Each structure stands twice: as C-alpha cells, then as structure tokens.
Structure 1
Amino acid sequence: MMYKFMLNETSYHGAGAIKAVPEEIKARGFKKVFVASDPDLVKFGVTKKVTDLLDEAGIEYVLYSNIKPNPTIENVQTGVAAFKEAGADCIVAIGGGSSMDTSKAIGIIITNPEFADVRSLEGVAPTKNPCAPIIAVPTTAGTAAEVTINYVITDVEKKRKFVCVDSHDIPVVAVVDPDIMSSMPKGLTAATGMDALTHAIEGYITKGAWELSDMFHIKAIEIIARSLRGAVENTAEGREGMALGQYVAGMGFSNVGLGVDHSMAHTLSAYYDMPHGKACAILLPTTMEYNAEYTGEKYKDIAKAMGVEGVDGMTQEEYRKAAVDAVKKLGEDVGIEMTLKGVVKEEDIPQLAKDAYADACRPGNPRDTSVEDIEALYRSLLK
C-alpha cells in the first residue's frame, strides 16, 4: 500500500520565532503582504507584534480582519475581494484556526478562481494550483492549521460547517512562537489545548493511521498531557510544550484523518456557535468509550502517554478505562465542564446527528457508525 505524507516547506519553533517572518517574505521575493487576523487579536495588539516587524523591515502590507471565530462563507468572499484589491502576492495568517482557515480558502480561490463558490471547496476539491503562498503564525496552541491540509468554513444559511481537504492549501511556512500565545486567556488555552489532544488521539486510532503517523500522535499526546495544565497557568514551560505538541499532532492527523468526535464538534459549532475546542473536549471521553473495542491495544499506549502509572499490569478493560479517565481528568483540571446540558436542544438532535454523519471526518472513525449511534452519543451528554 502507498502512503502520502505532507508537511510545510519550512517551520520555525521557539520563543522569538516570529522574527523570521520578514526574513522569509524577503527571501521568497514577495512584494506585498495580505495580513489576515481576527479583530480581537488586532484590538489587543497581538497582530501588531508581527506587523511591527513588517514595518521595521519596510515590507508593504494590508490588514484584513473580517474574520469570525467560526469563519463564514462571507468572510472568505470579502477576503478574496480585499486580496485582489490590495494587489497582494502572499498571505501572513496571524491567529488561531479561524484566521488560518479563512486564509486557506482565500488563497485557494485566488489561484483557482473556478472555485469562487466557496461551497464548491467542500470535501476533496479537485483544485489544480497551489494556493497563494501562506506564512502561518498561530496564536493558539490547538488547531495546528499551520501544518495541515484541512480547513473548515461555516455555512450560516444552512447552519452547518463543511470540511475542506486540499493538499494545495498547506502553508509554505509555519512560525510557531510560544511567546505570541502567552496572551491567550485560560479558557481559550484550555479549549484549544483539548482540541490538540483530540487531534492526537483521534489521529492515533483513525482507520488511516500507520507507523509514521502513530509516531507523531503518541508523542503529541505525551507532550500535551504534561504541558496543558501549565499552559493554562501561563507558565513558559507549559506554553512552549503546547506550541510544540499541537504542531506535532497536526503533522500526523493532517495526513491520516480524524473521526466522529470532530464530526460531532463541527455540527455543535455550526448550530450553537460553540467554540470548536470546547466541543471536542466535551465529546472526547464519550467518543473514546464508544470506540474502545475497535482500537486493539492502542489505549494502552494512550494511557501511558497520558501519564497513567502501572498500565502494563492492567487488563485490556482496565487500561482502556484508565485512558478515558485520564483524558476526562485533564479536561476537568483545565476547567472544561464535560456536558452538553443546557447547550444542545433535544429537538435538534436528529438533524445534528445527520449533519455529523455527513461530515468529512466521520468515515475515518475506527468504528463504523450510524446516525442513530451519533444521536445516542449526543443524548448521553445531556444527563
């Protein structure tokens, strides 16, 4: 069997890595930069940490900030128009998954104008050209969008999110600087961190997993498990660990896919505007329990990576439970309330389940599922 594995051309890691942004722009011969960043990051001066470097280097740029936390078709469309008007030749995406997902869609449409209808990008779109070059600067430690070939857009009209998978959208450069993540509030740090853990665990057990992806995922679980609590408390060690751990998880799952947790989480965000990371975190222990019998001995590895002691002396049932319990405990320790009670409406569940079943992440789940199974999973979290 043949496998394909894609990563950035170049990535920078560590405190102060953002200083490489103007160097990369000049080395690649770009003349005008389209800076895409969400309005809160602009308001609180996080975006300025990068644009100041562009100013100092004499690099011309235009700022685009019409980006919502769950980016919409409209965000992409106005971004495409703004990019064209600016006469830009590259994108610097500053932010979490929202800024980077918006940038990917903009970049793809710029070089593949036949996909101007944003909905046409859903699934694996047969684009022909690499997107406008993206230099991605993540400000959250979670989505790993800076290293993945995936992006997610919200269709507000139809109340759904759709996943786009395109090898042409991967940023050419990723700049992963823990210092620029230090301004994240506790709640956002916790939610995005649990999203990263979900990437690592789902990527480790997905149907497409193999030895190379397993290497990244199990290491990512280990790094995240030891770093997330510290990151929430804003320790330097925690921030640095999470910056690396989420990226390592992205290196893996981008190439092998995810599962039903992400399918269900995408639907929750589309219906209730729930932060994606929080949705993933709430669902993770439940979907792990659901998948346990279809994962061989992998939960033993997960339990060990989560820091559980005495795993080798446990039965299969015990180490599977230990892995789930460790994930649940981490979520609780960082302040995630592990329930959908008060969020999901019972009358919405049939449609939520149908939409989750149709989501592009669902086929990768290790256990073949059904709309009825997904309905039951949602209901189990309303108690």
Structure 2
Amino acid sequence: MTATIVSPRLMRIGGGAVAEAPEVLRLLGLSRPLVVTDPWMVSSGTIDRALLAPLRAAGIAFAVFSETVPDPTDTVIEAGAAVLISGDHDCLIGFGGGSPMDTAKAMAILAAAPPGAKMRSFKVPAQADHGLVPILCIPTTAGTGSEATRFTIVTDTETDEKMLIAGLGALPLAAIVDYELTFSVPQRTTADTGIDSLTHALEAYVSKRANPHADSLALSALQLIGRHLRPAYHQPKNAASREAMMLGAMQAGLAFSNSSVALVHGMSRPIGAHFHVPHGLSNAMLLPVVTEYGLTEALPRYAEAARAMGVATREDSDAAAGTRLLEELRALNRELGVPTPKDYGIGGNRWEGLLPLMAQQALASGSPANNPRVPDEAAIIDLYRRAYG
C-alpha cells in the first residue's frame, strides 16, 4: 500500500519566530494578508504585539477578521469568506488556537467555491482540495497541530454536526511555530490542548492507515508529550517543556494528517457540537475508555506507544506495557483535572437521549473506521455510557 505524504512547504520553528512573519511572506511572494484571529487576541493586544507590529514595520498592508468563535461555525465561515472575497488579499494568516486556524482554512475553501455554496458540501467523504488563497498558520497553543494538517472542523448550525473537512485546500502553505506564544496560555487550556495532541499522536500510530513516515512523527510526538505535558501544566514558564510541547503538537499534527485520527475523534466531535465541550477536553474524556476498547486489537502498537511515552520499558511485555498505558491515561486525566461528562455538568437524560444521534454522527465522520477495533453504533453508544461517569 502506498502512502500520500503532505506537509506545509515551509515551517519556521523556534522561540521568537513569529517576528519573522514578514520574511516568511516575502519568501513566498505574498504581501497582502487577511489575518484571522479571535476577539481576545485583539482585545488583549497579543496579536498587535506579536504579529501586526512586525507586519507594519515591514510595510505590509493587512486587514484583520476577528469574529471567530471557539468552535468554528458555517455562518462565521461564510462571513469571513465574504470579507476575503471583497478584499484585495493574496493570503490568509490564521493566528491563535485551533479555531482561528481552522476558520482561516475553511474560509479559503468556501471562497473558492461557486457563489451560494455551503460548507456542508465539503464534509468528508468529499475532498476539499482547492482554496482561493494560500494559508499561513501561527499557533498560540500546543494542541491541535492544525498548522500542519490537511483538515479543518466546522459546525453546521442547522444540524449541530461538527463536520470533518479534508483536502489540500486546508493544508497551510507555511507555518510559524513559536513556543513563546504559549507562555500565557491558561492552565486548563494547557491541559486540554496537551491531551489533544497526545490523542493525535496515539491515534495516528494505531490507526489502520498508519505508515512508516507518520509512525516516526507519532513516536517522536509521544516521547515529547509524554515527558513534558505535566511540567508544562504545573510550570507555565518552563521554557524547555513549552518548547517540547509545541514541537510535539506539530509533529502529532503531521502524523495524523498523513495517517488519520480514529475512534476518539469520531466520538469527540458530537460531544463538542451538542454540549459545547472544548475539543481537547472531549478527547480527554474519551481517551482512556476508547483506548481500552481497542487495546487488544493493536497491542504491539499501544505497547510501543507506552514505551515512547516513558511509562513502560523494553523489558516490559506488550501486555504489561498496554496495562501501564491505560493506567497512565487515567492518571493523567486525574492530575490534569479532566472531568467526566457528568462532572462537567451534562445532564444524564439529555446525554442518554442524544446517544443514538451522536453515534450516527461519529460513524458518519469516517474516523471510527480507522480504529484498530472498528465499532458499530451499539458499541459506540456503550462507550459513551461508560465515559459518562
């Protein structure tokens, strides 16, 4: 079986790299960006200090679209695409967490479509391979890896479905990965985005679509995240751990972009859509129980993941390493304060009532089919119940 490998054309990585955005644009022959970010980045002055000031100093004309929301919706994408089409822009810069970056990607895809097109036309299994302009992504959290992937997630406001959209139109042309942007990230966000990146790496490695290129990135990401998530959580200014987490998140993004995510993500998206749970947090809620479900079907891979994370050794049998992986995932959730859906405040009756729809939406995303153990609708409903608490 052959593997198709994709990645940004250029990645600028390191502390202070965001100040080099004008040079990156120049190298790519771009000069009129529309910057896509969120309201807090504007009101806090973060984007002005980090990105807009260097752009001004370099004489680069830009505009800012900051009406993004935590879970990108089709209506926000439509508004942003209209701004892009009406302006004289030759690129998009997604600056922020996963939501601004995903918004920029979806804007480029929708803006290239015929007038009146809707984002639901591009959801998987459709291939969204065309964007109106290239995208440059600058992450401010160590989690989604969106700066390096060919995916974006958009919520359909009519159906409350979180749609997976995949294709070359969502692949950034360039990424600037500057760990210093994460120093001020709140502890809760550090935890949720960190487990999100851990999930990306683990699912990419055990996926039925795994390949040697993605494997090497996933194992490196597991090693970095396994050793540095706790220090980054407890010591926000720990530069070494912040840098390692940022690199691990990027590598995990490259890994799953060239392999796939699996059942955790398939089940996580409906939780986010219906209950507005942040994506990384809903992944964390599900990761231990879903890993346990598929463990025996890919035990050597799960065991190798445990060894990469540093929770098992070469001397441990695969069975022992798999057990230690489960113990670590549960312990990580406890230490990082990950609530169950019940503890998060989701009512039992509403949760139970939505389980058939959530299971159907999870299966429709295609991600569960990549899991080592492929579930049917009844199995997904059972896993949702076990995760509820």
State the TM-score, normalized to the length of structure 1.
0.96
2:305 corresponds in structure 1 to 302
- How far the C-alpha of 1:63 sits from its partner, in A, is 0.6
Describe the SS at the equivalent of 1:367. coil
Structure-2 residue corresponding to 1:280: 283
Q: Structure 1, residues 172-193: CA drift from partner, whole Å, max 9, x if none?
A: 1110000112111000111001
**Pairwise CA RMSD of aligned residues?**
1.6
Q: Does the C-alpha gap of structure 1 residues 59 and 2 become closer, same or farther in structure 2, counting only changes over 3 Å?
A: same
CA–CA distance in structure 1, aligned partners of residues 145 and 63 of structure 2? 25
Q: Where in structure 2 are the equivalents of 1:262-277 lying within 5 Å?
A: 262-277=265-280
Matched residue of 2:176: which SS?
strand
The one-letter amino acid paired with 1:145 is S
Instruction: Select the residue among 364, 370, 378 that pairs with 2:370.
Output: 364
Say whether the 8 Å CA contact 2:130–2:169 is kept in structure 1: yes
How much has 1:370 moved relative to structure 2? 0.6
CA distance in 2, matches of 1:130, 1:304: 40
Q: Which residue among 306, 312, 316 is the counterpart of 2:315?
A: 312
User: Structure 2 counterpart of 1:14, which letter?
Assistant: G
- Give 2:109's aligned residue: 108
Q: Give 1:237's aligned amino acid.
A: A
Letter of the 2:300 partner, please give it: E
Q: Is the CA contact (8 Å cut-off) linking 1:303 and 1:311 kept in structure 2? A: no
SS in 2 for 1:164: strand
| 1:96 corresponds to | 97
Map 1:16-165 → 2, pairs under 5 A: 16-48=16-48, 49-113=50-114, 116-127=117-128, 129-165=130-166
Structure 1 residue runs of 5 or longer lacking an equivalent are none
Once the two structures are superposed, the pairs formed by residues 224-303 of structure 1 within 5 Å of their partners are: 224-232=225-233, 233-234=235-236, 235-303=238-306
More divergent stretch after superposition (91-100 vs 294-303): 294-303
For 1:380, the equivalent position in structure 2 comes to 386
Change in Cα spacing, 1:102 to 1:296, as seen in structure 2 (3 Å) is same
Could you tell me the TM-score, scaled by structure 2's length?
0.94
3-state SS of paired residue (1:265)? helix
CA positional deviation for 1:347:
1.8
Does residue 1:211 correspond to 2:212, yes or no? yes
Aligned to 1:3: 3
Q: 1:124 to 1:381 in 2, by over 3 A?
A: closer
Identify the range of structure 1 (113-122 vs 359-368) with the bigger mean alpha-carbon deviation.
Answer: 113-122
1:337 matches 2:315:
no
Give yes or no for contact 1:259–1:362 (8 Å, CA) kept in 2: yes
Question: Number of paired residues?
Answer: 382
**1:310 Cα deviation after fit:** 4.4
Q: Distance in 1 between matches of 2:114 and 2:68?
A: 21
Secondary structure (helix, strand or coil) at the match of 1:312 reads: coil
Decide which moves more: 49-58 or 322-331: 322-331
Q: C-alpha deviations, 1:239-267, integer Å up to 9, x for none?
A: 10110000011111001111110011100
Instruction: Return closer, same or farther for 1:103/1:183 CA change in 2, 3 Å cut-off.
Output: same
